[in-house]
Amino acid sequence: MNDRFFLKLLLALFAGLIFAEVLVVLLFGLRLELILFCFIVVAALTGIAVVVRLLLVERREIDSVSMRRAMQKREGIMQDRLKEYDVDEEFIGGKKVMRPKGNSMSPAHREHLSDKSASPAAPVSLSIEEAIRLHAGMYGGLEKLLQLMEKIDEASFSSLVQKAGLGTLSRQEVMLRITCMIDEQASSGGAASRKSCIIEGYSMESESFDDYIRRSMSGSEEASESGDKGFSIELDGAALSKGVGVPPADFSHDPKSMIASLKRAGSHT
C-alpha cells in the first residue's frame, strides 16, 4: 500500500468521524451512546486500515528478488536496466518465459563471434628437423639423442615421438634423419651445436680459459712470452730500493718551519 494513499485514508476516516459526531449532536443531542458508537466504528475502521498496511509491508519484505524485479517492471521504473534479466515466474504463478540474451550485441559483433567459433585456430606445426633439433637440446645434442633412440624400447619411443610431434615416423626414419643432421653439422664445423649448448661449449674450452686466467694473474715476463700485445706501467722496485732520495734544503718536519715557508712563498707572489 502506498504511503500517500494510507495517509489519505486515515484523513478521510478522521474527517468522517468529526462529521458523524457533529451530525449526531445536531440530530439527537448530546447522547453518549451514539457518540461512543460513532467513535468505536471509526476507530475500528482505522485499526483495520493500519493492520492491512502492516500486512502488505511484511509481505513486501519477504518477496523474492525475481518478484520485486517483476513488480518494478510492471511499474515501469527500471525497464531499461532490467530488460536483460529473466523473471522467475515460479514466484508469481505464471509460466517462465526465456528470452534470448543478446539484444545489446550488434549484428556485426555477433557475426564476428560466429566466424571465430566456426573457424578454430590452426595448430602451429613444426618441421621434423626443427622438432628433432628442439628436443636434441633437451637431451644434450644430436649424438645423445641418437644414442637414446638406439637404447629405448618401442613404448618409450612412441611416447617420445608423440611428445615431439613427429607424427607416424618409424624408429629407422627418425634415426636416419638424426644421422643426416649430424653429418651436416659436422660438415659445417659444428657451429649450430655450440650455439645450442653454451654450457657444453664452455666446458670444451676450459683449458684455454684456465690459460687465460693464468696469464692474467702472472707477471709481465710471462705475458710478453705469450705474445699478448698489451700496455702496462710497472715500477722498477730494484732501482727504487738502491736510490737515495735527497730532500730540499729548507725541508723540515717542524710545522712552524712549514708554515713560515708558506708565508714566504705568499709574500713573494
| Whole-number pLDDT of residue 78 | 64
Q: Which helix (H) or strand (E) holds 265?
A: helix 255-268
Residue 31 lies in a domain: yes
| Whole-number pLDDT of residue 125 | 46
pLDDT band at 122; cut points 50, 70, 90: very low
Residue 16 lies in a domain: yes
Residue 200's contacts (CB-CB under 8 Å, 6 or more residues apart) are 140, 141, 193, 194
The rounded percent of the chain whose pLDDT value lies above 90 is: 0
Residue 11 lies in a domain: yes
Average pLDDT over residues 112-139: 60
Residue 250 lies in a domain: no
> What's the domain range around 5?
1-91
Question: 172 in helix, strand or coil?
Answer: helix
Q: Does the pLDDT of residue 212 top 50, yes or no?
A: yes
| Whole-number pLDDT of residue 37 | 86
d(CA 187, CA 194): 14
Give pTM, 2 decimals. Answer: 0.25
Residue 13 lies in a domain: yes
Same domain? For 5 and 83 the reply is: yes
Average pLDDT over residues 246-269: 71
d(CA 8, CA 6): 5
Give the DSSP per-residue string, 218-242.
S-HHHHHHTT---------HHHHHH
Q: Does the pLDDT of residue 200 top 50, yes or no?
A: no
Same domain? For 87 and 170 the reply is: no
| Whole-number pLDDT of residue 105 | 52
Residue 122 lies in a domain: no
What's the count of helices (H) and strands (E) in the chain, helices before strands?
Answer: 15, 0
In total, the chain counts a number of residues equal to 269
Mean pLDDT highest for which of 104-113, 116-125, 222-231? Answer: 104-113
| Whole-number pLDDT of residue 161 | 75
Q: Does the pLDDT of residue 99 top 80, yes or no?
A: no
Mean pLDDT highest for which of 8-12, 64-68, 113-117? Answer: 8-12
Contact 160, 139 (CB under 8 A): no
The rounded percent of the chain whose pLDDT value lies above 70 is: 52
Same domain? For 140 and 73 the reply is: no
| Whole-number pLDDT of residue 151 | 78
The string of pLDDT tens digits covering residues 27-59 is 888 888 888 888 888 888 888 888 888 877 655
Phi/psi at 218 (nearest 5 deg)? -85, 180
Residue 74 lies in a domain: yes
Of 145, 170, 203, the residue that ends a domain is 203
Average pLDDT over residues 232-257: 64
| Whole-number pLDDT of residue 85 | 60
Distances (CA, A) of 190 to 131, 145, 146, 185, 209: 19, 16, 16, 5, 20
Q: Does the pLDDT of residue 123 top 50, yes or no?
A: no
Of 203, 220, 244, the residue that ends a domain is 203
**Lowest pLDDT segment from 68-77, 170-179, 217-226, 258-267:** 217-226
Same domain? For 9 and 78 the reply is: yes
Residue 45 lies in a domain: yes
pLDDT band at 163; cut points 50, 70, 90: confident
Number of domains in the chain: 2
Of 185, 203, 221, the residue that ends a domain is 203
Same domain? For 84 and 132 the reply is: no
